């Protein structure tokens, strides 16, 4: 069934959208900060919003699994890849407009860029995002956060395209049901842009905060191939503390290793495998359960593994 639908979709869609935006058997390791994982049957890089109607028509006729990728900084993509269509918003979705404390950012805009740009305009409230290597779209979906704040704190509304029925809505933050690293945005809802409101601040103080956050990240988090925090923090505790006190820092399975710098980060060797990361995640969850009687929940989104709902 997949093959039939895939061929039908290809036939229907590819001749109608620009050549340079279609990638068959696209290696997804290039689109994830873990830099592991197999290929997607098809990756479409979208620059022109008029292409959406073509894709939606194609999907209606030939239903296929869809994966939305931002900067891939919270994804673990299986070594078998993703049997479906990956949509990636291109540079034309990176625009940032700022007026009177209101900031509208395209879904592909990078969080550190938005953070620095707001500070340049004397606004305060988004400094926390300077060290988060995601896009606005991924961050809204995940309700990304840090340093005592998150997306929900300043988001007013987001423009969301429902890929199942083609409806385009301006959804208020209240309707997104935000909680810690959660929104009710579904895997078939594509965030196109987000509008935030910030307060006028002291530019020098905000610049100091940006520098302090960058320094803190450098001192406390590892570089290399990783996807940030692997597990969410249980209420009142930190996943990093639980993993560290279970004696797991430095534990390795094949190419994947628990960081010595921050126990809630897994680093992968160059040319490593997603399966090693997944096995290490399972081992950590099991050991933390044995040691602390606490069940850790993954923050990382797993794609292409058994049970993946994409």
- List contacts with ligand FAD (CB under 6 A): 33, 68-75, 89, 107, 132-135, 137-139, 141-142, 144-146, 185, 187, 189-191, 221, 226-228, 301
Of the pair 139, 256, the CB lying nearest ligand FAD is at 139
Which residue in this structure is represented by tokens 């061929």?
7
Number of Cβ within 10 Å of residue 79's Cβ equals 17
Query: Which tokens hold the place of 181?
Result: 């690293």
Q: For residue 158, what are the CA distances in angstroms to 121, 183, 195? A: 21, 12, 6
Say which of 73, 229, 255, 273 is annotated catalytic.
229
Of the pair 135, 206, the CB lying nearest ligand FAD is at 135
Say which of 35, 141, 181, 278 is annotated catalytic.
181
CB of 67 to ligand FAD, least distance (A): 6
Active site (annotated) includes residue 299:
yes
CB of 214 to ligand FAD, least distance (A): 12
Name the residue among 56, 45, 54 with its Cα closest to residue 15: 54
CB of 161 to ligand FAD, least distance (A): 9
d(CA 201, CA 291): 45
d(CA 61, CA 5): 8
CB of 245 to ligand FAD, least distance (A): 21
Say which of 83, 127, 275, 299 is annotated catalytic.
299
Of the pair 98, 160, the CB lying nearest ligand FAD is at 160
- Which letter does DSSP use for residue 250 in this model? T
Of the pair 52, 291, the CB lying nearest ligand FAD is at 52
Active site (annotated) includes residue 45:
no
d(CA 198, CA 209): 15
Active site (annotated) includes residue 97:
no
d(CA 127, CA 115): 5
Q: Which residues are catalytic?
A: 181, 229, 299
């Amino acid at each position: 069934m997949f093959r039939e639908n895939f061929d039908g979709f290809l036939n229907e869609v590819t001749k109608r959208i620009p050549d340079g935006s279609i990638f068959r058997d696209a290696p997804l390791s290039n689109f994830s900060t873990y830099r592991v994982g197999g290929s997607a049957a098809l990756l479409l890089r979208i620059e022109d919003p008029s292409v959406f109607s073509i894709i939606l028509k194609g999907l209606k006729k030939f239903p296929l699994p869809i994966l939305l990728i931002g900067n891939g900084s919270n994804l673990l993509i299986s070594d078998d890849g993703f049997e479906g269509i990956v949509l990636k918003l291109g540079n034309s979705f990176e625009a940032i407009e700022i007026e009177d404390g209101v900031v509208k950012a395209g879904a592909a805009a990078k969080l550190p860029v938005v953070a620095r740009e707001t500070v340049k305009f004397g606004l305060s409230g988004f400094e926390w995002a300077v060290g988060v290597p995601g896009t606005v779209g991924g961050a809204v979906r995940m309700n990304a956060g840090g340093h005592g704040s998150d997306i929900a704190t300043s988001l007013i509304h987001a423009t969301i395209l429902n890929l199942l029925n083609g409806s385009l809505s301006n959804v208020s933050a209240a309707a997104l049901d935000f909680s810690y690293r959660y929104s009710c945005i579904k895997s078939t809802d594509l965030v196109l842009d987000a509008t935030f409101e910030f307060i006028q601040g002291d530019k020098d103080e905000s610049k100091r905060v940006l520098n302090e956050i960058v320094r803190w990240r450098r001192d406390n988090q590892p570089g290399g191939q990783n996807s940030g925090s692997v597990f969410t923090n249980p209420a009142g505790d930190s996943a990093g503390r639980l993993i560290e006190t279970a004696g797991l820092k430095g534990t390795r399975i094949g190419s994947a290793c628990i960081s010595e710098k921050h126990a809630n980060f897994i680093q992968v060797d160059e040319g490593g495998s997603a399966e090693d990361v997944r096995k290490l995640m399972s081992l950590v969850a099991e050991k933390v359960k044995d040691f602390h009687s606490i069940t850790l929940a993954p923050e990382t989104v797993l794609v292409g593994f058994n049970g993946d709902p994409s």
